Amino acid sequence: MPSYTASNRNTRLVAAKVILLVLGVFAIFITILLPCTWLQYSLSSTSLGNFRLILWAIHGKGNAGQRGARVGGQGEGGDGKRQKVQLEIHIMSKCPDARDCVEDLVFPALGKLGPGMVDFRMSFIGKTAPGNGGIICMHGPGECLGNVVHLCGAKLYPYSHAAEKQNTTFIQFSQCLIHSYEKLPDQFFIEDCAKEGKVDFQKINKCVSDQGSEGGIELLKSSFKRSEYLGIRTSCTIRLAGQRRCIRDGGKWRDCEGGSRVEDLVRDIKAEYHRGEREVDENEALEPYDERYEERYEEY
Q: Identify which has the larger pLDDT, 121 or 160.
A: 121
pTM (two decimals): 0.71
Half-sphere exposure of 259 (CA within 13 A, CB side): 9
Give 238-269 pLDDT, tens digit per residue.
999 999 999 999 999 999 999 999 999 999 99
| The pLDDT of residue 204 | 96
Which of 69, 70, 106 is CA-nearest to residue 240?
Answer: 106
| The pLDDT of residue 129 | 80
| The pLDDT of residue 50 | 35
Query: What are the distances in angstroms from CA 87 to CA 65, 122, 201, 214, 225?
Result: 25, 9, 27, 23, 18
| The pLDDT of residue 173 | 96
Average pLDDT over residues 287-293: 44
Average pLDDT over residues 57-65: 33
| The pLDDT of residue 130 | 76
| The pLDDT of residue 75 | 33
Average pLDDT over residues 214-231: 94
Q: Identify which has the larger pLDDT, 81 or 204.
A: 204
Pairing verdict, β 118-124 and 85-91? parallel
Non-local CB neighbours of 199 within 8 Å, separated by 6+ positions? 153, 156, 157, 168, 170, 173
What would the DSSP string read from start to end of the chain? -HHHHHHHHHHHHHHHHHHHHHHHHHHHIIIIIS--B--SS-PPPBPHHHHHHHHHHHH-------SSPPSS--S--TTSSSPPEEEEEEE-TT-HHHHHHIIIIIHHHHHHH-TTTEEEEEEE--EE-TTT--EE-TT-HHHHHHHHHHHHHHHHS---HHHHHTT-SSHHHHHHHHHTGGGTT-HHHHHHHHHHTT--HHHHHHHHH--STTSHHHHHHHHHHHHHHTT--BSSEEEETTEEEEEEETTEEES-TT-SSHHHHHHHHHHHHHH------HHHHTSS--HHHHHHHTT-
| The pLDDT of residue 201 | 96
| The pLDDT of residue 122 | 96
Confidence of residue 8 (pLDDT cuts 50, 70, 90): low
Confidence of residue 133 (pLDDT cuts 50, 70, 90): confident
Longest alpha-carbon distance in the chain = 89
d(CA 200, CA 215): 16
CB of 53 closer than 8 Å to CB of 217:
no
Candidate from 126-140, 216-230, 242-256 with smallest mean pLDDT: 126-140
Average pLDDT over residues 280-295: 45
d(CA 147, CA 166): 25
